[in-house]
Amino acid sequence: MSLELDKRILEIADGIKTMRIRGAGKIARAAAEALKIAAQTYKGPREPVEFRRYMDRVAELLISTRPTAVSLPNAVYYVMYILEKTEGGVDELVDAVVRRADEFIESSLQAVKRIGEIGARRIKSGATVLTHCHSSVAVSVIKTAYEMGKIEKVYSTETRPFYQGRITTRQLLEAGVPVIQIPDSSVRYIMHEIDQVVVGADTIASNGAVVNKVGTSQIALAAHEARVRVFVAAETYKFSPMTVIGELVQIEFRPETEIVPRDWIDKHPNVKVLNPAFDVTPPEYIDAIITEEGVIPPQAAILILLEKFGWALEKIKHGVIHRVEFEESLHE
Ligand code: RUB
């Protein structure tokens, strides 16, 4: 018989699925928080094996909510790994999960701040910057650069169909940054005014390809054509170790009703509507990736993976990796 989960856990899972909680970093932190709540509200048998089984169930539920951002499974595995490392009774395991979740959340927030500082140094004085979607990390870079007096103005795309660009615009306005909201389709027209593009990432593959909000690759293409530099701001837990062995990143397709209203679909039953939420920008169109560890060329993504996942990569190569072992090297 499976235990009933605390309402807050289900709310977080549903929040991620329905995008009330969104953005790769926030999703990761929310998942860590849900694991913490799960541990704190465990009411099952006082057997460690039962507690582990229950936590596995919560972990699987969280990972199943959205497929593209690797930050989500990376965060979950990071927290869950402590269950492999901790001995003792259920009380000890609960404490360990709570501490581990707090540690992830804290280090994730620190990383966002640090990338803001490192990234701001890469913004040139008097820059006009273009950003896409809403990335907390990209906003952190832009805000910090603005505080340093470097930003003249920012173009923020609407980011159809979900309009996350409006969140970016609002946050930048609140910080006093001059910001202009533009439709996604005007990016190439506006590109001659842009000095630098700064975007976030959901997942970075081992070859340096960046998976981010759909439209990012078109922006990168237009920037490339206009010789405008493209920077990706991303914490190291957005790098995907499984891509080292050729696993592809799954692109999420969201409901058609985000694109057109239900009654329109009903009136045009033969029209197929597609709503891919992310796309892949090849490394050739990216100038640098700004992480909390420093700035790297996209081609050096493998070095981040080797540094953070080195031990696990050996096992991945031999096909004997399982997700918890994986996590060990991620954070050592
Ligand atoms: C959000 C998106 C963001 C990245 C990075 O997509 O693509 O650019 O997740 O965000 P969605 P952050 O709105 O579909 O989740 O820097 O905040 O982690």
According to DSSP, the β-strands at 278-281 and 210-213 are antiparallel
Q: Length of the chain, please? A: 332
Q: Tell which atom from ligand 1 comes closest to the C-alpha of 278.
A: 7
How far is 111 from 90, CA to CA, in rounded Å?
Answer: 31
CA 257 to chain centre: 24
- Of 34, 35, 149, nearest to 81 by C-alpha is 35
Give 208 Cα–ligand 1 centroid separation in angstroms. 17
Cβ(236)–Cβ(292) below 8 Å: yes
Question: Which of 17, 133, 144 should be mutated for ligand 1, with most atoms under 8 A from CB?
Answer: 133
Structure token pair of residue 275:
């709503």
pTM above 0.85, yes or no: yes
25 lines ligand 1 (CB under 6 A): yes
Backbone angles phi, psi at 46, to 5 degrees: -85, 35
Can you give the pLDDT at residue 84? 87
Find the catalytic residue in 6, 14, 133, 287. Answer: 133
Give 26 Cα–ligand 1 centroid separation in angstroms. 8
23 lines ligand 1 (CB under 6 A): yes
Cβ(259)–Cβ(229) below 8 Å: no
Q: Which domains does the chain have, with CATH numbers?
A: 7-113+312-331 (1.20.120.420), 122-311 (3.40.50.10470)
Q: Is 91 among the residues known to form the active site?
A: no
Can you give the pLDDT at residue 151? 98
- Digit-by-digit pLDDT tens for the chain (332 residues) are 578 999 999 999 999 999 999 999 999 999 999 999 999 999 999 999 999 999 999 999 999 999 999 999 999 988 998 998 899 999 999 999 999 999 999 999 999 999 999 999 999 999 999 999 999 999 999 999 999 999 999 999 999 999 999 999 999 999 999 999 999 999 999 999 999 999 999 999 999 999 999 999 999 999 999 999 999 999 999 999 889 888 899 999 999 999 999 999 999 999 999 999 999 999 999 999 999 999 999 999 999 999 987 655 665 666 544 444 444 444 44
How far is 193 from 129, CA to CA, in rounded Å?
Answer: 9
Can you give the pLDDT at residue 183? 98
Q: Tell which atom from ligand 1 comes closest to the C-alpha of 213.
A: 7
Torsion of CA 149, 155, 156, 160, to 10 degrees: -170
Can you give the pLDDT at residue 7? 97
Tell the residue nearest (CA) to atom 16 of ligand 1.
135
Can you give the pLDDT at residue 329? 44
Q: Is 292 helix (H, G, I), strand (E, B) or coil?
A: coil
Give 15 Cα–ligand 1 centroid separation in angstroms. 14
Cβ(128)–Cβ(198) below 8 Å: no
- Of 247, 312, 323, 313, nearest to 59 by C-alpha is 323
Q: How far is CA 114 from CA 25, 35, 168, 258, 289, in A?
A: 14, 25, 19, 34, 13
- If one counts every other C-beta atom within 10 angstroms of the C-beta of residue 111, the result is 21
Can you give the pLDDT at residue 246? 87
Cβ(289)–Cβ(296) below 8 Å: yes
Question: Which of 212, 230, 286 should be mutated for ligand 1, with most atoms under 8 A from CB?
Answer: 212
How far is 140 from 136, CA to CA, in rounded Å?
Answer: 6
22 lines ligand 1 (CB under 6 A): yes
Can you give the pLDDT at residue 81? 86
How far is 57 from 3, CA to CA, in rounded Å?
Answer: 10
Give 266 Cα–ligand 1 centroid separation in angstroms. 31
Q: Is 6 among the residues known to form the active site?
A: no
Give 25 Cα–ligand 1 centroid separation in angstroms. 7
